[in-house]
Structure 1
Amino acid sequence: MMQSTHRKQNVFVIYGGYTQEASVSIRSGQNIIDTLDDSLFIAYAITFFEQTIVCVLNGEKYKMDLNTFSFITHDGRKINPDYCFIAVHGAPGENGQLQSLFELIGIPYFSVNSRISALTNHKYHTVCYVKSHDVCVAQNHYINNDHYDIDVICEKMAFPFFIKACKNGSSIGVNKAYSKEQADQFIKETLKIDDEIIIEQSISGREFTIGIFTLDNQITITSPSEELLIENNIDFLSHENKIDSTKNITLTVANVDKLLLLKMQNFVRKIYGIFGNKGVMRIDFILNDNDNELYFLEINTIPGMSPQSIFPKMLVAAGMTFSHFLTTTIREAIENNTSQ
């Protein structure tokens, strides 16, 4: 798939999709296209239309040949990708489907591999996996389909607790329950969008997020950031709060001492290693007020890439431009013909 470095390389930026996260994905994809160095790359917008995948070029839609993930223009030119940048949040971008396709064809792409994608796309499986590697996680309860007993759940879990759809991101299908009636209502609502649910005990403490990735054969760990919910009526960062520009929410580099910073870096590096030391990950965790330990919350293997997203801001805080990150990531993956 790799061709001469003297020509511009074709980068297929894949975004959109059929889930509730499509709007976030579209903003990510457009920002990637706008930021790519056009002296090195030709960016093609690849998206979803009427149950198929198309390239949108000069206002025209070209159906993708999924056997080669290429398309043919009206004048008969076949356009093949040198690299595929997956910016699809949710299925089929974060559940291993696109990754499996590109691995089969032999196209380097942006993401962890298909196995890790499938695992980390499922919140309950992810929590169980990191727990098996001696990482602290919140007490939890798993619901499959509509088979649950609200009395058993309320006996096992202390209020408040979170109810989360297992296979959704961007806080879609996440609610915080303070009573049995509220919990039952939220479970029923969440089962309408996902047939699997994880219920997690709420932990009192400071919540952080850190980005980690490999460039130039070196692991880079960004500074820990924390979201400050300024308004008194915001209890947690729900999907509605994330997309509501009127909410007074800010992301800031966390003020932590050197010992805690080292503890966080070791914690994140361990989790990155558990999942293969590859790709880009944003890892969310909380410092428990009760035992002063770090507890794993969630992992994002295709973090948002829009100007408003957390990850590009993390890069800036780390002294790296988004353009440099994209260029280096793509070039390394093409040279090695791997995912990244």
Structure 2
Amino acid sequence: MKKNIAIIMGGYSSEYGISLMSGDVVFQNLNKEKFNAYKIHILEEKWVLVDENNEEHLVNKNDFSVNLGSHKLTFDCVFNAIHGTPGEDGIMQAYFHLIGIPQTSCDYYQAALTFNKRDLLSVLKPYGIKSATSYYLNKGDKIVAEDIIKKVGLPCFVKANKAGSSFGITKVYQIEEMPEAIKTAFLEDDEILVESFLDGTEVSVGVIQHQGKTKVLPITEIVSENDFFDYSAKYKGEAQEITPARISKVQEQNVVRVAKLAYDTLKMKGYSRSEFIFVGDEPYMLEMNTTPGLTNESILPQQAAAAGISLSELFESAIWQALEEKK
């Protein structure tokens, strides 16, 4: 019997539009002979199933069911394609855990931890995973630009702590640019971090559960046409994403080891995509994404293709993994 799969997409953050594109790609590529796929838009004002006629049907939040006429539709598994809150920060994961529906991304604790860049890097540091020198600010803190620069140097990056797709990030060259950069970051989150600039090759490393095993995908080198790997570089073709990356064997071995160490240490499941910059041969972690982009332009699907894994196989493997864990 075919499984009913709810593909949740949308969300409450600036990544809403990207999530809808990711969800559509999942919907298009799921094997129709094995799965009945449904698009579920998770919005702040409503949760709705959007059918083939673009008509909306309200989701009952008590049990995540949908009434389609006289028929009550329930789901065997949820495919999580929400970037940002509430799909990448643990909220939806905790909800599905409570009502007993398996879902394809990591568990709620891991989602909340990895969504918080400051906490993630702090937890991984004792395991020898390196990161840039950083300075933390919360909304309402006294801001002394000179103190920040003294610690992290120039240039530096000002980032929203809990945001993705490079929303709220500014590269700062002069101390005079700091107030506006901080203001931009606070538009996305009430916590920010300022990180020292690392001058080296940037790579993205996908780690997935595939056929019951942890698999590190071919590494992607990021060469942005812009000042850094910003939103336009990620989604408007203003960057080269080279898979496999043009890095040395030593660098490859080091970053594969660190990416897998982070995945296993955090007891991850589902997909992750971590970003690193090399300082010499040593990879420094920037962040980990637990619901990475799944659009045709996104890095993880490119890496899967390089590993000989089709989108259909990639998505199907995540669903069977979630269903198996439920047993």
Q: Same fold (TM over 0.5)?
A: yes
Contact kept in structure 1, 2:168 and 2:187, CA below 8 Å:
no
What residue ranges of structure 2 are gaps of 5+ in the alignment? Answer: none
Per the alignment, residue 196 of structure 1 pairs with 191
Whole-Å Cα distance in 2 between the matches of residues 251 and 128 of structure 1? 30
Which one of 196, 208, 216 corresponds to residue 221 of structure 1? 216
Whole-Å Cα distance in 2 between the matches of residues 84 and 11 of structure 1? 6
Matched, 1:282 2:273: yes
Per the alignment, residue 75 of structure 2 pairs with 81
Matched, 1:263 2:254: yes
Deviates more, 1:312-321 or 1:251-260: 251-260
Give % identity.
32
Contact kept in structure 1, 2:133 and 2:195, CA below 8 Å:
yes
Which one of 25, 32, 45 corresponds to residue 31 of structure 1? 25
Aligned residue identity for 1:333: A
Whole-Å Cα distance in 2 between the matches of residues 279 and 307 of structure 1? 19
Matched, 1:237 2:229: yes
Whole-Å Cα distance in 2 between the matches of residues 250 and 135 of structure 1? 24
SS in 2 for 1:279: coil
Q: Is the alpha carbon distance of 1:113 and 1:248 closer, same or farther for their aligned partners in structure 2, counting shifts above 3 Å?
A: closer
Per the alignment, residue 116 of structure 2 pairs with 122
Which one of 138, 145, 155 corresponds to residue 139 of structure 2? 145
Contact kept in structure 2, 1:228 and 1:252, CA below 8 Å:
no
Deviation at 1:268, TM superposition (A): 1.1
Whole-Å Cα distance in 2 between the matches of residues 210 and 50 of structure 1? 32
Number of equivalenced pairs: 325
Contact kept in structure 1, 2:105 and 2:270, CA below 8 Å:
yes
Whole-Å Cα distance in 1 between the matches of residues 269 and 239 of structure 2? 34
Aligned positions of 1:1-340 closer than 5 A = 7-49=1-43, 51-57=45-51, 58-74=53-69, 76-147=70-141, 148-229=143-224, 231=225, 234-245=226-237, 247-289=238-280, 292-337=281-326
Q: Is the alpha carbon distance of 1:248 and 1:129 closer, same or farther for their aligned partners in structure 2, counting shifts above 3 Å?
A: closer
Whole-Å Cα distance in 1 between the matches of residues 12 and 185 of structure 2? 18
Contact kept in structure 1, 2:65 and 2:74, CA below 8 Å:
yes
TM-score, normalized by length of structure 2? 0.95
TM-score, normalized by length of structure 1? 0.92
Aligned residue identity for 2:320: R
SS in 1 for 2:218: coil
Deviation at 1:49, TM superposition (A): 4.7
Deviations 1:292-317 (Å, cap 9, x if unpaired)?
32211110100101111111010000
Deviations 1:167-216 (Å, cap 9, x if unpaired)?
11001001110111111210022212211001110111111111111222
Q: CA RMSD in A?
A: 1.5
Deviates more, 1:130-139 or 1:9-18: 130-139
Contact kept in structure 2, 1:90 and 1:168, CA below 8 Å:
yes
